Homo-oligomer: A and B are copies of this chain.
């Protein structure tokens, strides 16, 4: 059984409103040195099945977990 971690981020160039909000809030709290904040998703699950976990995870991302038009993803197998 493998523990699969998928990081999903908006692609560079796509406006990240959550990131902008976090950046503004941290700056407002006094951390003026904060810049280029991005907020993404982290999806973790156990996978117990046939096939290579990395290849299966890639298919899951393409089909469901990431909107590949505006999001990129990175897969980690633990």
Contact = CB atoms under 8 A, between A and B. Distances in A.
Interface of A: 7, 9, 19, 22-23, 25-26, 29, 31-49, 56, 60, 63-65
B43 A31 contact: no
B7 A33 contact: no
Contact of A40 (B35, B38, B42, B49): B42
A44 B60 CA distance: 24
A38 B22 CA distance: 22
A55 to B, nearest CB: 12
30 contacts: A7-B42, A19-B43, A19-B45, A22-B43, A22-B64, A22-B65, A23-B45, A26-B60, A26-B64, A29-B60, A29-B63, A29-B64, A31-B47, A31-B49, A33-B46, A33-B48, A33-B49, A35-B46, A35-B48, A37-B43, A37-B44, A38-B43, A38-B44, A39-B41, A39-B42, A40-B41, A40-B43, A40-B44, A41-B41, A42-B42
